């Protein structure tokens, strides 16, 4: 290499296949090659900068989006900042399991993160590195990294939403508002306005192509189309016809009648992926495309079925009969006032035909998600209810009805009792007539806080205790329910059923041969639920596989391929189970192979 010309050496050293480690090794070989490594970056110091840059790019490639070619960056300082942020993120994630294993992360649990002394995007990047770790290890780290990232991104999105709401109405894009709601409810998904807008622009271009075949001189085909509204109704009609052709005939968009109450119908990025939605989400898409083509459509908060209106008379007319109403859910069908009433089956007053603001559109979108969250009593629906309440109260922070719902939700879930008291105090200040409901919740929340203070610590269960001799299965084993056939993993057990009489009666436990007087197991089920199963209903799973449960990392650190390893906190509570699990697995699966 040292015999080659400097220009050729530089060309070789800049080759894409060489990584930071390769450049570093070449640089350390001799003075000649060190100078070659540094030559195009301004001498020895420039070479060190080049190597630091290469290390940053190779180790943290996702960070490149935060820099532009014109930036003057001290890469050594950036490297140090990113490295320190990584260490801080790892320290906080490692502490969460010990601090919050036995309870939901409290509202002040993220206070360390809110006062970070490092750039938040570096901290988030380290959390993403933890989540993207390959293999089946680090499950507990991934579990808490996910919770922290969820919190951080939601806080940032809430700030963006509040900034959006403070803008003048004419600068509040309906599409941007829909994206903010989508982002808040799906903070771990890669959703951004730029990407969504690009997909909408692609549909708009398809509409222009159809429009060009019908009318090559249409004003919507001009380079600055969308900046100026088209005044002629007939030209507007041509745009809407072309839109219906592209959306509903070519791209096959449609209202989701078969699965109407699926929350995915409300998320704009999912509407674009699945090409289906509910009236309001399809209307936002339809309205956005129309406006980009110079046609002004307005949102109408029609009861039970969101619509758009298109002015056929004088602009700004208050006469509801001067408008044609468009049903984006119904393939862009154009309706009269009477047909709108036929659509919902009853007469409505004129006020329901009026235009609404972007904030009112977001309110209705969030209201739909709130209603979906109330429909079921599952972890997923509770999370949706919490997220939609956060969004609603960001828009209307003094709404007593939704504040009370939030307080009751947290109380029901047994989380954030201190925040419940704060919410109740705020409700009492806003509406003293709520003192009865507020007083009841305050009393029971204070009792909850006192009980938590009296807890002595984790209960430790030893297999060697005489009262546990009937317990056959152990923590981490992959089991199958004999009756219902679901796959699950054990994360806790009791020597006998510890549930109350009402639960025992409702679950018909007495009909079992051994009734409640047998060991019962806490299990995480593959469908995302947590259940309490009798020993006689469980059996070893002959084909053990990973259980895709959102809480798996709360209890386990690793999946070995045939069983789960308890994390430190769970092992403290069941100190003798790990060896038994290993022995059981060795006995069952090695004999099966033989």
Here the CATH number for the domain that contains residue 477 is: 2.30.30.390
Across 102-111, 242-251, 529-538, least confident range = 102-111
User: Higher model confidence: residue 79 or residue 306?
Assistant: 306
Q: Are residues 10 and 100 in the same domain?
A: no
pLDDT-derived band at 43 (thresholds 50, 70, 90) equals: very low
Of the candidates 99, 122, 121, which has an alpha carbon nearest to the alpha carbon of residue 111?
99
Q: Does 594 score more than 70 pLDDT? A: no
Rounded Cα gap, residues 315 and 312, in angstroms: 8
Q: Are residues 97 and 146 in the same domain?
A: yes
According to the model, what pLDDT value does residue 106 have?
A: 58
How many domains does the chain divide into? 5
Q: Are residues 428 and 545 in the same domain?
A: no
64 in a structural domain: no
The mean per-residue pLDDT over the stretch 115-119 comes to 73
Q: Are residues 34 and 83 in the same domain?
A: no
**Chosen domain end from 316, 337, 362:** 362
Across 40-44, 215-219, 404-408, 416-420, least confident range = 40-44
Q: Does 37 score more than 70 pLDDT? A: no
The mean per-residue pLDDT over the stretch 286-301 comes to 95
3-class DSSP state for residue 380? helix
Q: Residue 563: is it exposed, middle or buried by C-beta count within 10 angstroms (0-12/13-18/19+)?
A: buried
pLDDT-derived band at 21 (thresholds 50, 70, 90) equals: low
Rounded Cα gap, residues 471 and 459, in angstroms: 17
Quick: pLDDT tens for 542-576: 889 999 999 999 999 999 999 999 999 999 999 99
Our CA angle for 115, 121, 123, nearest 5°, is: 60
> What is the share, in percent, of the chain residues with pLDDT greater than 90?
63
Residue 276, phi then psi, degrees to nearest 5: -155, 155
**Chosen domain end from 148, 166, 184:** 166
pLDDT-derived band at 238 (thresholds 50, 70, 90) equals: very high
425 in a structural domain: yes
Q: Are residues 522 and 563 in the same domain?
A: yes
- Is the CA virtual torsion 185, 188, 192, 197 positive or negative? negative
- CB-based contacts of 224, cutoff 8 Å, min separation 6: none
121 in a structural domain: yes
According to the model, what pLDDT value does residue 44 have?
A: 43
Rounded Cα gap, residues 541 and 523, in angstroms: 13
User: Higher model confidence: residue 277 or residue 97?
Assistant: 277
Rounded Cα gap, residues 441 and 489, in angstroms: 36
Q: Does 180 score more than 90 pLDDT? A: yes
Let me know: does 107 contact 416? Beta carbons within 8 Å. Answer: yes
184 in a structural domain: no
Q: At what angle do helices 435-454 and 400-413 cross, to 10 degrees?
A: 30
489 in a structural domain: yes
User: Higher model confidence: residue 33 or residue 365?
Assistant: 365
Q: Are residues 430 and 287 in the same domain?
A: no
Let me know: does 242 contact 226? Beta carbons within 8 Å. Answer: no
According to the model, what pLDDT value does residue 224 have?
A: 63
The mean per-residue pLDDT over the stretch 390-399 comes to 96
Q: Encoding tokens for residue 90?
A: 């790892």
Q: Does 209 score more than 90 pLDDT? A: yes
The mean of the pLDDT values for the chain is: 88
According to the model, what pLDDT value does residue 225 have?
A: 59
Q: Are residues 300 and 269 in the same domain?
A: yes
391 in a structural domain: no
pLDDT-derived band at 61 (thresholds 50, 70, 90) equals: confident
pLDDT-derived band at 103 (thresholds 50, 70, 90) equals: low
3-class DSSP state for residue 419? helix
Look up the domain containing 406 and give its range: 397-454
Q: What is the CA radius of gyration of the chain?
A: 30
421 in a structural domain: yes
173 in a structural domain: no
According to the model, what pLDDT value does residue 104 have?
A: 66
C-alpha 143: how far from chain center:
14
Of the candidates 286, 290, 357, 354, which has an alpha carbon nearest to the alpha carbon of residue 322?
354
Cα–Cα separations (whole angstroms), residue 106 to 151, 350, 418, 577: 12, 47, 9, 29
Q: Are residues 551 and 492 in the same domain?
A: yes
Q: Are residues 494 and 413 in the same domain?
A: no
Rounded Cα gap, residues 74 and 70, in angstroms: 13
User: Higher model confidence: residue 488 or residue 135?
Assistant: 488
Let me know: does 1 contact 25? Beta carbons within 8 Å. Answer: no
3-class DSSP state for residue 155? helix
Q: Does 591 score more than 70 pLDDT? A: no
Q: Does 20 score more than 80 pLDDT? A: no
pLDDT-derived band at 593 (thresholds 50, 70, 90) equals: very low
User: Higher model confidence: residue 425 or residue 8?
Assistant: 425
According to DSSP, the residues that pair with 556 across neighbouring strands are: 566
Across 94-103, 208-217, 342-351, 409-418, least confident range = 94-103
- CB-based contacts of 108, cutoff 8 Å, min separation 6: 418
Q: Are residues 415 and 484 in the same domain?
A: no
Q: Are residues 489 and 566 in the same domain?
A: yes
Q: Encoding tokens for residue 414?
A: 């047994």
According to the model, what pLDDT value does residue 42 have?
A: 42
Rounded Cα gap, residues 23 and 30, in angstroms: 12
Q: Does 45 score more than 50 pLDDT? A: no
Q: Are residues 346 and 216 in the same domain?
A: yes
DSSP state for residue 320 in the 8-state scheme: G
Cα–Cα separations (whole angstroms), residue 48 to 11, 31, 168, 476: 18, 14, 49, 49
C-alpha 528: how far from chain center:
16
């Amino acid at each position: 290499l040292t015999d080659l010309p400097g220009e050729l050496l530089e060309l070789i050293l800049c080759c894409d296949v060489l990584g930071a480690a390769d450049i570093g090794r070449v640089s350390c070989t001799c003075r000649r090659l060190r100078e070659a490594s540094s030559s195009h970056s301004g001498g020895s110091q420039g070479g060190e900068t080049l190597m630091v840059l290469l290390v940053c790019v190779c180790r943290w490639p996702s960070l490149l989006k935060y820099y532009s070619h014109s930036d003057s960056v001290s890469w050594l300082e950036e490297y140090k900042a990113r490295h320190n942020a990584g260490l801080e993120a790892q320290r906080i994630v490692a502490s969460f399991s010990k601090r919050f294993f036995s309870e939901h992360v409290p509202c002040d649990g993220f206070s360390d993160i809110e006062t970070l002394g490092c750039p938040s995007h570096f901290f988030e990047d380290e959390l993403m590195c933890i989540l993207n770790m390959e293999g089946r290890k680090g499950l507990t780290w991934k579990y808490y990294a996910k919770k922290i990232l969820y919190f951080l991104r939601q806080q940032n999105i809430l700030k963006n939403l509040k900034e959006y709401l403070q803008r003048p109405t004419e600068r509040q894009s309906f599409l941007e508002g829909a994206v903010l709601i989508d982002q808040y409810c799906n903070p771990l998904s890669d959703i951004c306005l730029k990407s969504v807008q690009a997909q909408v622009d692609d549909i708009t271009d398809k509409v222009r192509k159809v429009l060009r075949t019908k009318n090559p001189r249409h004003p919507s085909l001009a380079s600055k189309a969308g900046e100026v509204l088209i005044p002629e109704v007939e030209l507007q009609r041509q745009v809407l016809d072309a839109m219906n052709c592209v959306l509903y005939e070519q791209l096959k968009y449609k209202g989701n009648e078969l699965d109407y109450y699926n929350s995915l119908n409300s998320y704009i990025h999912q509407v674009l992926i699945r090409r289906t939605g509910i009236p309001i989400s399809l209307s936002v898409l339809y309205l956005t495309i129309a406006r980009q083509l110079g046609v002004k459509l307005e949102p109408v908060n029609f009861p039970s079925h969101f619509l758009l209106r298109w002015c056929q008379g004088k602009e700004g007319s208050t006469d509801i009969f001067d408008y044609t109403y468009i049903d984006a859910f119904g393939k862009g069908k154009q309706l009269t006032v009477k047909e709108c009433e036929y659509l919902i089956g009853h007469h409505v007053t004129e006020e329901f035909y009026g235009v609404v603001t972007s904030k009112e559109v977001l309110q209705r979108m969030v209201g739909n998600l709130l209603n979906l969250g109330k429909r079921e009593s599952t972890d997923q629906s509770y999370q949706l209810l919490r997220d939609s309440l956060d969004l609603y109260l960001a828009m209307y922070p003094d709404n007593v009805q939704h504040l009370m719902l939030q307080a009751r939700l947290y109380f029901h879930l047994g989380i954030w009792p201190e925040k419940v008291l704060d919410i109740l105090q705020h409700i009492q200040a806003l509406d003293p007539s709520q003192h009865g409901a507020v007083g009841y919740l305050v009393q029971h929340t204070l009792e909850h806080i006192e009980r938590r203070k009296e807890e002595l610590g984790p209960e430790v269960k030893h297999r060697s205790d005489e009262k546990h001799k009937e317990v056959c299965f152990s923590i981490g084993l992959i089991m199958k329910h004999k009756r219902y056939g679901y796959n699950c993993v054990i994360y806790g057990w009791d020597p006998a059923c510890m549930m109350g009489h009402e639960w025992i009666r409702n679950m018909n436990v007495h009909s079992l041969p051994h009734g409640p007087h047998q060991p019962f197991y806490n299990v995480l089920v593959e469908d995302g639920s947590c259940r309490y199963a009798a020993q006689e209903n469980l059996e070893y799973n002959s084909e053990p596989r990973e259980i895709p449960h959102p809480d798996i990392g709360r209890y386990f650190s690793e999946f070995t391929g045939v069983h789960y390893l308890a994390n430190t906190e769970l092992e403290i509570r069941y100190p003798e189970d790990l060896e038994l699990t290993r022995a059981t697995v060795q006995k069952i699966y090695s004999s099966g192979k033989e």
